[in-house]
Structure 1
Amino acid sequence: MASYKETTMLLPLSDTRTFGEMDWQYITIHNTANRVSARSEAMYVHSGKSEVTYHFAIDDRECVQIQRLNMSCWHAGDGRGDGNTKSVALEICYSLDKGDSRYPVAEDNAAHKSAKLLLSKGFGIDRLRNHQIWSGKYCPHRMLDNNGWEPFKRKVAKYMEELKESKKTRLSTPDFIEKIKDGAIKGWETHGILPSLTIAQAILESDSGNSELAVRANAIFGIKASTDPSWTRIYKKKTSEWINGKYVEVLAGFKSYKSWDESIRDRLLYLTTRCIGGVYIYKNLIGEVDYKRACQKIYDDGYATDPKYPGKLIDIIEKYKLYEYDKKALKESGVDFMDKQVIIAYWSDGDLPNAEALFNAIGAGLLTKTKDARIYKDKGAFIVQVGGYDIKGADKKVFGDDRLATLKEVAKFAEEIKGGR
């Protein structure tokens, strides 16, 4: 099965190497006749040293888009004919040396990309062309040398059928939401994270449960195994990392899970316990009741580097009305405990995330930092101490041997409260 990363390096709209806008009707296949990668090909086109332009350069690892699909390119050698003005150009890299093992993989990737493009317009294999058909030039030379044009077309047709079949079995976003919504709602009760944020991130990060990590590792948030050295179930896959000012392909280890529910629970735990330099980096996210602010906060706290990340999450929440799950979670948690005001007290800032998680789980009382809760007890309040040292006047102490253990006790106590209502 073809495997490649899709990257965009678009020419500026001011670039004049075009015949103007087009409604493409064909795909034209080329060979680059050199030894460089798709990214290097794209950089050369951007340099302006050649009159030739094309839409995609593809190699054994990457497909780089250089021109917009609604803009024509100079590539087919047929003047203002349909080749230049009505076809999408794919350049297959590493074709110069017959012994280059990267070329067959690049050609396979090109067949897959061609299939995707044809399906996107509802076209059939009859819309596939090579450079020679348009102008007579011996290109794609490597393919023509091996009498490989007809086999290539058959491979494209095969990929088209496979893609059609996979589309039938692809999980829809509404179905994905239905499968994970209960775990997301429960996440508000136990950890104070809005269900809409949890679901939107899962949709975005896992392609609605259809990504490789979601299917093969039940990982719908893509949390790296390096964040938790104690985690033993690891799924390794190639990914791109921004290192020293450029993207580098690395083999990364991701947490693998028994189920999507376990993935959700671990992500909630990650958000409420992730501590760097003594700082709980997502503590301001816990208890946030406005989904727009929550989407902005998780970005500001460093969860993602894409500046459009908050907007993408908000768009998903509003498209699928995920805020309705927030309303449900907030309504269910807004009940007074034991008909008293509850004071959630904590000793140090390190216990704040756990205290806020409990505050949101029971939905009542006043979260306060205090060493002496007697003033509140004198007013008839029920005092709950979370973590830290003993707090004078506490009616209930919720803590463990460490903060992770405390968080588990918080979840347990919250369930007890729910059961007693």
Structure 2
Amino acid sequence: MGYTNSPLVVYTKLSPNHSGQRTHSIDRITPHCVVGQLSAESICGCFTSTSRQASCNYGIGTDGRVSLCVEEKNRSWCSSSNANDQRAVTIECASDMNEPYAMNSAVYSSLIKLCTDICRRNGKKKLLWLGDKNKTLNYVPAADEMVLTVHRWFANKSCPGNWLYARLGDLAVKVTAALGGSSSSGMQASSLKNLSEAEAVAKIGPLFTANQKTTGILACVSMAQFILESGYGKSELAQNANNCFGMKTSLSGNSWSGSSWDGKSVYTKKTQEQNDDGSMVTITADFRKYSCVEDSITDHAAYLLGAMNGSKKRYEGLAGCTDYKKAVQLIKDGGYATSHTYVQNLCSIIERWNLTQYDVAKASEGTVISGWYRVRKSWQNAASQKGAFHDLAYAKQCADVNPGYFVYDPAGKAVYPEVKANCPYAVRVSISDLNIRKGPGTNYAKTGQYTGKGVFTIVEEADGEGATRWGLLKAYAGKRNGWISLDFAKKL
């Protein structure tokens, strides 16, 4: 195909570090954090030396200006993955130097515009964020779809940082809207009916980011109820729950006192919510009106905020609530869901999204539930627990945003992140030409020196390309540019 470059570029300094023309058409975008509040020019400057052995297609400087480092037609060296970089446009974004590697509004705004431009020039109408490594890498995009991937999926890195990682759903929604396409936020209800519960969660989950700015934790609860009660999915939990979102024509068991029903699609009741000044505002909730999932969720949230019980709000305390567990309890206490099993199921669905961390075992009043991955500072310190997850991937995500926490399997064994080796320790090198590199991987430049044969001290280990494990030599610990492949070293 004929490749083009973005007209948003204001500075070009082409890097020699690339593999020539791509072997795969562009269907991914991989945004990175550059770890520094750099200008567009400086980002290009990072990749002008061949010794760096790294590059990117575009850079976004701290003022939002865009630079071109590697033309789109060529594969950059950016994501620690040949397969990903062959099909992805890679973007380095100016960021803070420490986790969560936050980006300012100018950078984020330019990222949205640049992603929109990349999609449009490559014939894409949708940008997707699936939020799961395995699902994304196994996903075959349609001809009009572009998919977001992240560096941390291919290397032991935080990139693009938790600040941007948490906003990738929002990025996908905004770009798709700018393209005039239909993102998950415009998903039709009928498209979910035959999905499993887990698949429905994956499709609806990104809507949370779009809603949280206006409804906060309430949107999280509302989406869980939507899946639980709408009949979506093949699970027993979804199939047998009350169907109050109007996927059935019958109102049996779903009567809403004082409501009206047109017999076809609209189920309406006006409720009142008190403003800060004491005045009352009328809210109309049309549960059965919408084919768009997000609209129905938003409308349901409006009802929960406005429903009255006489002169009092039925769900007092929901407005502004930031505690997920408290929000669920308020809805239960307000009479919406009196079953403890219902509340447990509600919690389980939200947990799948990893939108909050919630220990369902604890919620079940001491019942031990097998198969949970728990996120704690230590296995013995149960009070430190951040959450419990059936899905290991979600448990890892929870640990990633809580430094110092580990994922423990049901037996209490730490399984993530990998516990660092008991450093320092000694190794013997029996070859004379073992390269010393500037970083842990063959993608880092050689220092031009060799260890020679002998015994050496390793002070740190790391994963990286080209070896099972890399070790940092004690003599280079201060500069951190003395890494060797431990495949050629024997631990003593």
TM-score range, shorter chain: 0.3 to 0.5
Report the structure, 1 or 2, having the larger helix content.
1
Look at both structures and tell me which one has the larger radius of gyration over its CA atoms.
Answer: 1
Question: Please, what TM-score do these two structures have when normalized by structure 1?
Answer: 0.33
Q: Which has the higher contact order (CA 8 A, sep 6+)?
A: 1
Question: Please, what TM-score do these two structures have when normalized by structure 2?
Answer: 0.28
